[in-house]
Structure 1
Amino acid sequence: MTTPPRLGPLLDQFDFACERLVGRLRGPLMDSGDGTDTPVGPLTDEEHLWEPVPGCWSVRRRAAGPGPRATHLDGAGDWGRDAAAHPHPWPPPVTTIAWRLSHLTEMLVLRADHTAGSRSATREAHPVHADAAGAVAALESGAAAWRAVLLKADDAALDTVGYCTYPYGSDAEEPFRDIVWWVNQEVLHHGAEIALLRDLHRAGRPD
């Protein structure tokens, strides 16, 4: 299928954002933003779960229960992601790299399913990864699933309200083109946060 011309720039933006984020997490080189490659090591398990300030939201062992100001743990498996029902705590808690990666991955996987899959995937059944390698691999898999959905979208799909039925957002009330834009900004937004946390973690280590 030929990509609709108006989808092309959004698809290119998504590809670049994901490539840049994964490079920032995996290494050995990352895009510095000025056209040069900068060496970077792979995300470690310690860094993945690093809490830069007290009271962070993160992913936690289910047996330990939710963290500060969280009311429950989202996801499936031995680990879950800190969460709270609306209205969310204010001011918003700082979140770890693990939390942000889990949030992004869940969003990509579930939106892909609720657009071109079974339309039955739930937050409660989505696995949460505590290890850095597993979390990064899951992000790459989620990004590939969402990209495959985009490649199947034609002009009619872009204008269809409720083309994506993701149940944790306004997708059922929005044309698909707006959802595509929203997913891009989520990757860009959280990708920048993750990059900053990596910088802060590195700067706080004497070596």
Structure 2
Amino acid sequence: MAIPPRLIPVLQQFDLAHGRLTDRLAGPVMDSGNGTAIEVAPLTDEEHLWEPVPDCWSIRRRATGPGPTATLLADAGDWGRGSALPRTPRRRSELLALRADHTNGSHSPTRDDYRVIAHAAGAVAGFDSSATAWREALIGIDDPALDAVRHSAYPHGSDPEDPFIETVWWVNQELLHHGAEIALLHDLFRARQR
């Protein structure tokens, strides 16, 4: 199936943001944005669990509890993501994996099914896998699907009320916005090490 022409620039933007963030976190090199390869340190377990300010929400072992300002640990597994009701914030990997499934899969996983990955390499691989699943969901649609309301049935957003092209645009905006925050925290963690 041919990719709808109006989806191509949005998909290219997604691919660029996905690739740059994955490379920045995985290392050892990434594109500087102008084609120059620069060395970057990969995300470490210490950094992945780093809490840059007191009382921040983070991922924690379920046995230790949610931390001082969160009221629950969301997601599945031995580790959970600090949260409170209503359940926020979501991790980028979770958002991409669940939206991909609710677009092109079983439409059944919930945020409670998503497993938090506590080690850095697994978290980076999980993000890459989730982003790849979202991309696969996108390249499998036709042009009329871009205008279809409820093409994505992801229940934790405006997806059921929006034309699918708006959901696709929103996911790109989220990846760009939060990817920049992740990159900044990555730089700050490295700066405090020096």
- Whether the TM-score (by the shorter chain) exceeds 0.5 is yes
Report % sequence identity.
Answer: 62
Unmatched segments (≥5 aa) in structure 1: 89-98
C-alpha separation between the residues in 2 aligned to 1:35 and 1:115? 33
AA aligned opposite 1:14: F
Q: CA deviation at 1:150?
A: 0.3
In the alignment, structure 1 residue 12 sits paired with structure 2 residue 9? no
Structure 1 distance, partners of 2:86, 2:112, is: 17
- The residue that corresponds to 1:61 in the other structure is 61
Residue type at the aligned position of 1:11: L
Q: CA deviation at 1:70?
A: 1.4
Structure 2 equivalent of residue 131 of structure 1:
119
Q: Distance in 1 between matches of 2:25 and 2:98?
A: 22
Q: CA RMSD in A?
A: 1.5
Tell me the amino acid that sits aligned with residue 184 of structure 2: L
How do 1:115-194 and structure 2 match up within 5 A?
A: 115-194=103-182
Does residue 1:202 correspond to 2:190, yes or no? Answer: yes
Counterpart amino acid of residue 71 in structure 1: T
TM-score under structure 2 length normalisation: 0.96
Conserved 8 A contact 2:56-2:69: no
- Runs of 4 or more consecutive aligned structure 1 residues displaced over 4 Å after TM superposition: none
The 2-side partners of 1:22 and 1:64 are apart by 30
> How far off its partner does 1:33 sit?
2.9
Worse-superposed segment, 173-182 or 48-57? 48-57
Counterpart of 1:79 in structure 2 is 79
Offset, 1:87: 8.9
Q: TM-score, normalised by structure 1?
A: 0.90
Deviations, residues 28-75 of structure 1 (Å, cap 9, x unaligned): 112223442210121100011111111111100011111232121111
Query: What residue number does 1:31 align with?
Result: 31
Which moves more between the two structures, 145-154 or 27-36?
27-36
2:43 maps to which residue? 43
